[in-house]
Structure 1
Amino acid sequence: MEGPRVTSSMGVMFNLLSKLNTSMDQPGFKDARGDLISLKDELGNMKALMHKFATQDESMDLQVKEWMRQVREVGYDAEDWIDSHPPVSSAEARGTRLGGGFFSRNSRRRKLAELIKELKDRVKEASKRRSRYLIREDWDDAAVDNDEPVDLGPSNVTVDRQLLYGLDGSMLVGTNAPVSELVGKLQAGGEQRFMVVSIVGAGGLGKTTLAREVYRTIHGEFDCCAFVSVGQNPHITAVLLNMLHQLDPQQRLVDDADQQPMDEPTVVGKLREFLEEKRYFIVVDDIWSASTWRDIKCALPENSTRGSRIVTTTRMNDVAKSCSGRPIDFTHLMKPLNEADSKQLFSSRLQQSLPELEACDEVSEEKLFRHVWKICGGTPLAIIVMAGMLNRKSPDWFDHEDNVVEALQKYPALQGMRRTLRICYSDLTLPVKTCLLYLSVFPEGAAMEKKRLIWRWIAEGFIPDAEGDKATAPWETAESYFNDLVTRRLIQPAESGDAVRVTVHNVVLEFISSVAGEENFVTSQVMLRSKPRDVVRRLSLNGGGGDQQGDVDGGESATEQEAPVNLSQLRSLTVFGALAKSLSNGF
């Protein structure tokens, strides 16, 4: 199967070379055919070298990364130029020559020659930089040749049914004691005073899982309940609207006067009015700042005689203190799993997709776990993602310990979740890497529909064209990539029972957003403010509002004014929130 048309690490090289071939056969480019052939040959050489470097990830020299970035930008610019000069038929070309006159014809040729020369000069300059940076075509060939994972093909990638049903109580590991402790604190026999319990710990330790299990256990004891996620860059009104909808499904979320989404003061008033005389239980997940908590807290009355309860989760100790600052409140510090629980979690996840390993001797399984334990420690998310990667290996692969050592001892300079995710990311094929990075266009907590996501991958040109007798349709190939990511637990079903809608854990989303930003693959609204770019290729704007957990299309209009950005070379724009609705209503 031919490589993908677009990959994150290789820019647009595959697509660009195909378009250059097509352009050379067009009558309108006849005079520039020689220059186009020269440009194509030079870019072809660069494509081959970039393909080698694309598998090196963190081990690449910074100068190599910079060179690849420059070549990617040249490739994007060249494709922009080709797209702005669409093919013409022979008849159209003859009509242009007859009606345009000598000066018009010469002017077009001259402009065409100047544009191609500019692109050629930029390509030649990139080649000179490669020499100056001492980037050799045989650079670390041995490592490169072995690093590119084998694409198992669409027919070999399915989703194990057990993965579609998430983590029920019987599958959770190491949570019984903390769940019992928190439930005891929250129930506090006969205690009717208002209480806030904070869960604090590093990303990936299972704060949200613990909070969900506590919520599942006791939510029936209250008049009304809600579970909302906040995230690193929250739209407070969106969070509060989501909360109001869960607490009071009958409540209209728009202003009766102008039929627009409620503003923040209105939502706060509605929440306080509804909750004032009720015993409520609310989980506020993933709070990143004390100011965010203060904004949300304004909507939650401390009806001290009702015994209402709030559970918050955060990574920061100071935020936890802000949430649970009163003597009656309680803070629970998350701890990594102990070695025994970590081994149980790893073994259960690995054998979901590789039951053949159940028959392997205990010594081999212990050796495998030891390698994983050194990297992941007792971080549940790291163990689950690592097991997901190993699930994609054939049983024969485990017969050779060298395979395990080589796969799991990469990137020793990195630590914690960053190293785990980098190892698992490097194990993906190039097209699957691209599909994963594309998820960074979606906001935190978004639930993405499988069908819509796959069609977007296809529309962006991430899916290889099918060839040969065993060719598969683009949809089948894209679906195999989707299933691969679910099996690896890099994406996870939003609801138990089916992977029709999926989400990305916020720790994974942070990682892929970082990589996508480094490669100028996707630019988010936050990146526009913190790291302005000269050229933006794919832009994602999140206006907030609506149910961010349940629908990426809900929202309120964005009011922040970004610094001026050149969008003349923008290839795709994704807008969430009411701004998206207003744009769609305008057409």
Structure 2
Amino acid sequence: MEKYLYYAHQLQEEGSQKHPVKRSSYVDVFKKVGQLMDKINNRIGHLLSIREQSKLAPQLVPHSPYPDSEGQPELIGTNGPINVLLKFLKHGEDGAVLQLKVLSMLGIGGIGKTALASKVYRMLREEFQSHAFVTVSKMPDMTRVLFDILDQIGLRKYPASLNENQVITQIGQDLKDKSYLIVIDDLWDMQHWKTIKDALPDVNCGSRLIVITRLNNIAKTCSSGQNNLTYKVMPLAHHDSRTLFLKEILGHEGSCLDAPVFDEILKMFGGMPSALKCIGSFLRNKSVTTESQKINMSSLYSELENFPSWKKLKIALFLSCCGPSQTLEACSLYLSTLPDNHKIERDILTRKWISEGIILKDDELSINGVVNNCFEELINRNVIQQVDNSFGEETYEIQFLMHHILRQIARERNFATFLSENILISCKEPIHRLSFHCSKLRISIDKGDIQIISDSGDSNQKPKSLSLARSITLCGYAKPVSFKLLEHLHVLDLEGCWNVDNSTLDDICRMILLQYLSLKKTRI
């Protein structure tokens, strides 16, 4: 389609007076494009048939029963949050202590919401006549979830053949006039919350519900009552992150184990218990000691991708980016092209989405409406968070762990290609989106090819074609730069590429498909 659009624009600009021989070459191009589109349509039809044959079953995330208190590790840096939660759950003014209370625990994936709720649950469950801990997940079998509650709070064992209405009726009978503590983990959908809430009797027996979610709107709705609370779980402090990380590596606290790479890991993944435990476990398996710490971030990233615990963490975190349509997923993956610690400006990001054709108009909303919905949903799912700005501008940021996961997935799917100190050109597939953010490396772009060059001007890598690139984002030292033969570019972001000058303007002006151009902080 890019090739078709390019030549169609070219033909339109050249007009009807073009030489007949030259015009016939366009006919050949359009014919080849038509043949390629036929192949693509056939492939899409094949993929759709496979999808229909293997529909996703309920329960996207494998169900993991609540772990009992035996063998649970001691949490680090959670005394303050636990005291806040216990105070809310145990106390109340006047008769409020007997009213049903709902506590919503909100936070991004991997921040430790479930671990914190599990600790509180173990501390309080014996104070209630009935208690249960259930995981809902993104695509649950609600009959199974409700039966799980019944199985934990029930007075006896019930046959698995009960339907949903029978299970709901039995839950109401078993919890009648009883105090209960129920934890609902990994809640994604308001309808699922309504189903569970309607099954639980609301009587003044001092019952408590704890809802764990990543979604702002879910947390707000569940805790909308006067006596309810939404608690946002925050990242661990640096000291607690370091203690947890070293304990995971060595199996005990108080070690003087030190290495520059550990400081870098803590700087990047600090505050995120799931990531620190995963990386610490990985390094422990590698037998990292004070005598053997010869590991760099590049090798760590590449080896970590094959570590089973990291794969599970990656899947769990990426669920936040998956919606009912592919648009939200594509918009999330586009965040991977941004530099680390980049302040996201809403208008700039959404303009790039539109320019690349990621956002498509639907039957009910305009393109701008779809764009706003996608951006708001990323905020709602805590994929990005709003940050304070002294200039009064609306800016956002993405947490490093989520950013790193998105880059891994974008690279695996060939959604984007990244160049940095730790990641060089290694992909075998065509480059569609190029993101270069580096202060130490230099690149050369000439005649539609890109190369990494050393300070001496040499290169150990073969040139990689950019002829199919739709988007190029450069920030760093790129010289020489020639944008000739980059016919399919829709987005060219050169902000911060300080050595780009007026010599590139002729090439840029020939990009007839270009829809977004940024020349901030350049010499143009």
State TM-score, norm by structure 2.
0.44
Higher helix fraction (1 or 2): 1
Structure with higher RCO (Cα < 8 A, 6+ apart): 1
